[in-house]
């Protein structure tokens, strides 16, 4: 993660966004949130996901079947002895989580599995 986006982050948030950690399943504040709004990067405020694309996957982390494509990059992650696709914020390079395909949760057949600590929610309610 770019240094200029780290100063306001807590140690827990840095462990995810900077050090590519993972919060324990079913502990994040956004896992069960299904309000109307947008999910922004906790590091730089880029819009990453809409509540319209969020779905209940029962995996323990917020799940989306679509992201804001220009704001999310994908990289091959060979950690943990397997190949996964890491998702990072295009603006600040903060680690968000991973994306999985072929699980048949939604018609788009894609699951962006995201750490709540890498996000902040902005409600659409006026």
Q: Is 113 a catalytic residue?
A: yes
Give the residue among 85, 88, 97, 12 at the shortest CA–CA distance from 44: 88
Q: What would the DSSP string read from start to end of 1-53?
A: --GGGTTT--HHHHHHHTT---PPTT-STTTT---SEEEEETTT--EEEEGGG
Paired residues of 73 in beta bridges: 88
Distance CA 123, CA 126 (A): 8
Cite the active site residues: 113
């Amino acid at each position: 993660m770019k240094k200029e986006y780290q100063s306001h982050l807590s140690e827990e948030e840095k462990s995810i966004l900077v050090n590519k950690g993972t919060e324990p399943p079913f502990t994040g504040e956004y896992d069960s949130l299904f309000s109307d709004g947008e999910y922004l990067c906790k590091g730089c405020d880029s819009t990453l996901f809409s509540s319209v694309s969020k779905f209940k996957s029962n995996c323990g982390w917020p799940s989306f079947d679509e992201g804001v494509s220009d704001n999310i990059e994908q990289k091959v992650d060979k950690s943990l002895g397997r190949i996964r696709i890491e998702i990072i914020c295009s603006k600040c390079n903060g680690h968000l989580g991973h994306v999985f395909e072929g699980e048949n949760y939604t018609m788009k057949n894609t699951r962006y599995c995201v750490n709540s600590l890498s996000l902040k929610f902005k409600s659409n309610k006026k």
